[in-house]
Amino acid sequence: MKFEQNLEEYLTYLLVERGLSSNTLASYRRDLTDFLAYLEKLDYTSLEQIDKYCLHDYMQKLKNAALAPSSRARKSAALKSFFKYLYLEKILPHNLAPEVETPKKEKSLPKYLTMEEVDRLLAAPKTNTIIGCRDKAMLELLYATGMRVSELISLQVSQVNTQMSYVRCIGKGNKERLIPMGQPAAQAIEYYRENCRRKINNYWQSEYLFLNLQGKMLTRQGFWKNLKKYGKSVGINSPLTPHVLRHSFATHLLQNGADLRAIQEMLGHVDISTTQIYTHLLDEHKFEQYNQSHPRA
């Protein structure tokens, strides 16, 4: 199909020219495949047939399907980027990107753990086993740096300097950033690297720091499953994901006086407005402390 050819060329452009990750590319592929399937149901045979009414009807269809605003916003962003590409490559004579509606996202504050909950979680893995030793190091590092789980599992041995206590992280768009880490994380990684990783089959054949028992890179799903298991074991009943630890990292830094720009750099946010959502959490914390402490609250 002509549509499929356009899609593959666009995904190649995102990979080669913009250096997007495989996870992001997979998301773009899903969202745009859904749209192109919609066009085929309308018996469209050419991209030139698309107009603003078609785009409006498609976005309305997503809304009627009770798709979450965040999901519709993601699909909208994918379409805008796709149409901009088609226009710049002269595949379409007009840029249809401005015609794609951008749904308003629901403002929801990120979930985070209390410091006491973090302490319980970090103490959950049993370090007398290879898996427990590895998971202890991963949890300590995730909370110490605020890394994304995709960045954590793809971390290579050479990117971690436990002597100088920093991590060289490769984030979205293949952008590199240096993140400091505390001694507990550095010590947990050093212990894992020297006493546990060496016991994994064929460990020397992998450049990745965190391995499963087969000597392969750990998957996001595998780590997420372990994280939920540890949370449940220490009585954390709220939904627990790797991103909750990332939010906890940023929130606790801000609560203890860290500079917002520094947090932005450590998280790898391009725009400071993305980081500013944590100031709302801080405001909530202040009101909560006031209501608990002031005699006439």
Cβ(280)–Cβ(252) below 8 Å: no
How many helices (H) and strands (E) would you count in the chain? 13, 3
Predicted confidence at residue 234, as pLDDT, reads: 96
106-to-73, 101, 142, 250 alpha-carbon distances in Å: 10, 15, 27, 21
pLDDT digits (tens, 9 = 90+) for 60-98: 999 888 888 888 999 999 999 999 999 999 999 989 999
Domain ranges of the chain: 2-99, 115-292
> For the residues 117-121, what does the mean pLDDT come to?
96
Of residues 69 and 55, more confidence is placed in 55
> Is 278 an annotated catalytic residue?
yes
Predicted confidence at residue 267, as pLDDT, reads: 93
> Is 172 an annotated catalytic residue?
yes
Q: Which of 136, 193, 197, 246 is catalytic?
A: 246
Dihedral sign, Cα of residue 217, residue 222, residue 224, residue 229: negative
Percent of the chain with pLDDT over 70: 92
pLDDT digits (tens, 9 = 90+) for 260-294: 899 999 999 988 888 888 887 666 665 566 566 65
| Per-chain mean pLDDT for the chain | 89
Alpha-carbon gap, residue 275 to 278, rounded angstroms: 6
Predicted confidence at residue 66, as pLDDT, reads: 81
pLDDT digits (tens, 9 = 90+) for 223-263: 999 999 999 999 998 889 999 999 999 999 988 888 889 99
Question: Between 3.40.50.150, 1.10.443.10, 3.10.129.10, 3.40.50.300, what CATH number should domain 115-292 receive?
Answer: 1.10.443.10
Q: Which of 74, 134, 148, 193 is catalytic?
A: 148
> Is 44 an annotated catalytic residue?
no
| 256 token code pair | 């203890």
Point out the least confidently predicted range of 96-110, 119-133, 225-239. 96-110
pLDDT digits (tens, 9 = 90+) for 15-42: 988 888 888 899 999 999 999 999 989 9
Predicted confidence at residue 229, as pLDDT, reads: 95
> Is 94 an annotated catalytic residue?
no
pLDDT digits (tens, 9 = 90+) for 162-212: 999 999 998 887 889 999 999 999 999 999 999 999 999 999 999 999 999
> Is 285 an annotated catalytic residue?
no
Instruction: Provide the Cα torsion 269, 272, 276, 277; round to 10°.
Output: -50
Q: Which of 29, 111, 228, 243 is catalytic?
A: 243
Predicted confidence at residue 83, as pLDDT, reads: 94
Q: Which of 94, 172, 177, 228 is catalytic?
A: 172
Give domain 2-99's CATH architecture.
Orthogonal Bundle (1.10)
Is 2-99's fold the same as 115-292's?
no
φ, ψ at 166 (rounded to 5°): -150, 160
